[in-house]
Amino acid sequence: MTAAHAVPALRHDWTLEEVNALFARPFADLIYQAQSAHRAHFDARDVQLSTLLSIKTGACPEDCAYCPQSVRFDTGLEREALLPVEQVRGAAQRARAAGATRFCMGAAWRSPKDKDLDAVIKMVQAVKDEGLETCVTLGMLKARQAEQLKSAGLDYYNHNLDTSPEYYEQIITTRTYQDRLDTLGHVRDAGLKVCCGGIIGMGEASGDRAEMLRQLANLPEHPQSVPINNLVQVEGTPLAGIESIDELDFVRTIAVAKIMMPASYVRLAAGRETMSEATQTLCFLAGVNSIFYGDQLLTTTNPAHLKDLALLDKLGMRPEATPKYSDIGPGETPSAERAPQAARV
């Protein structure tokens, strides 16, 4: 690669004015810039498939206004205790057979107790034994807990910022923005890869979306995975009935995320169930290269996996095989080299 065609260095010094200017670009120019940034780091045909399993459902003491698992809201959700390890292993086996390469586990806790963490560590090890990358989201972590998870072989830890610091208290009052940043710091310091993004369509202004992405991109290291969720409105939560975000504004958010964090996987997460194939296609053009795959996302539905595979095939895209850089450390840039690709569906 010549110096004239060198990949630009990743930035951590974005100003809000710069981010707002990206959002204001003509749509076609923005998509072109995002796709170009994406191709500098990834094969544009590849889409990483993740499966998400709720390993402990409901009765969360937090008051996140979007979440049906909060004990404060009456959403009709049945509480479920922590799943047995063998049930998690079976779910991982099914996910792998369906083509997923990453298995994510979520528990509705404010933060895990040590005895709970011991059980989760056994789940992580069981999923690793099935040849899958692992990710968990368990709420706030102490430094030693992050180190325990790293020692157990965990690959990713998910902890979203959700929105901008300015809008945050309109959505959550039971933990602070700094609490979230502290957990991300513990995760990075332990050597775990970070999965961190946000939720769009919670009544925030466009400037809040810009500031959320600025917060993410200006972290000491870019999150290796950036999930962008489109709010799934659940009856009984405070955000039920709120005006939905315009689909093109959602796509713009994806594109700006990719431009600012081009070496990160940008995941189309919750909300795909209501998206048309055309909207999802625009998201792929904007730089999405990871999706949650399967019929369920914690407590909300998701497009059936065969439907997802059919769309990828229609677009000439393909599930990403387990990459050769699966052991890549935080802060490193993925190589363009890939393991042999999985068979096209």
Q: Which residue numbers are catalytic?
A: 60, 64, 67, 104, 135, 195, 267
Q: Mapping DSSP to helix (H, G, I), strand (E, B) and coil, where does residue 50 land?
A: strand
Contact 294, 302 (CB under 8 A): yes
Name the nearest CA neighbour of 111 among 139, 89, 83: 139
Contact 130, 96 (CB under 8 A): yes
CA 23 to chain centre: 21
- Give the Cα separation of 254 and 288 in Å (integer): 7
Q: Mapping DSSP to helix (H, G, I), strand (E, B) and coil, where does residue 80 land?
A: strand
Contact 131, 322 (CB under 8 A): yes
Q: In degrees, to the nearest 5, what angle opens at C-alpha 119 toward C-alphas 117 and 122?
A: 110
Q: Give the DSSP letter string of 258-310.
A: HHHSTTSEEEE-TTGGG--HHHHHHHHHTT--EEE-SSEETTEE---HHHHHH
Q: Are strands 156-158 and 193-195 parallel, antiparallel or unpaired?
A: parallel
- Give the Cα separation of 316 and 296 in Å (integer): 25
Name the nearest CA neighbour of 267 among 254, 256, 278, 276: 254
Q: Which amino acid is at 78?
A: E
Give the Å distances, CA to CA, from 329 to 103, 159, 194: 18, 18, 10
Q: Which amino acid is at 201?
A: G
Residue 147 burial (C-beta neighbours within 10 Å; 0-12, 13-18, 19+)? middle
Q: What are phi and psi of 324, to 5 degrees?
A: -65, -20
Query: DSSP assignment, residue 78?
Result: P
Contact 19, 214 (CB under 8 A): yes
